[in-house]
Amino acid sequence: MDSGARRKSRIVVLASGRGTNFQAIIDASRSGGLSGEVVGLISDNPDATALKRAKRHGIPQVVVERKSYPSKREFDLGLAQAVGQFSPDLVVLAGFMRLLGKAFLDEFPEKVVNIHPSLLPAFRGLDAQKQALEYGVRYTGCTVHFVDEGADTGPIIGQRVVPVMPDDTEDTLAARILVEEHSLMVECINAVLASRVRRNGRKVIICGG
């Protein structure tokens, strides 16, 4: 390898379920569409399909279960230790279904991002597609944001808009949003890794292109 070659940024992904966004990140990295490589997957769910995806691609996996720790803080510290062993430049939550506390976030300041299937601040938390349908909105979408201690309350990095059709179900709406999630996540990760993201309080500015 050329001694002058630039080191690829290191990405650690946290996922609890299917891992479709995790797969999109892997695919983008291996096709050259992402300026970083996934060096580890952490899951709180030993049955997560994401773990199988990681194994298939030769990516190290670690399971950190909440029930193994006496308190939320101890769990956060254990999770931080598991993530820290990979020396990440960025931590990406891709369907990770637990709130991260101060004990974790203090270890990775401004290095943790999340993807959420709504146009935040609308429809935070679980079942965002169901919330959108029940509210009767004409448009929803997805959001990538920095993670803080709240539920989907961190500063917004990027968003994509998805129309809500009259005959939509939770599944059909979720499927259309997911397509946008995959590309938005890659776009925002690239911006963060390229140091093009500037924060001023809650306001996030992406410089250049």
Q: Are 81 and 59 in contact (CB under 8 A)?
A: no
Q: What angle do CA 169, 174, 179 make, to 5 degrees?
A: 140
In three-state form (DSSP H/G/I as H, E/B as E, the rest C), the secondary structure along 137-161 is: CCEEEEEEEECCCCCCCCCEEEEEE
Catalytic residue among 57, 116, 145, 182: 116
Q: Give catalytic status of residue 116 as yes or no.
A: yes
Give the DSSP letter of residue 10.
E
Which residues, 6 or more positions from 182, have their beta carbon under 8 angstroms from its beta carbon? 20, 21, 24
**DSSP labels for 30-52?**
HHT-SSEEEEEEEES-TT-HHHH
Q: Is the peptide bond before 121 cis (omega within 30 degrees of 0)?
A: yes
Q: How many CA atoms does the CB half-sphere of 66 hold within 13 Å? A: 12
Residues catalogued as catalytic: 116
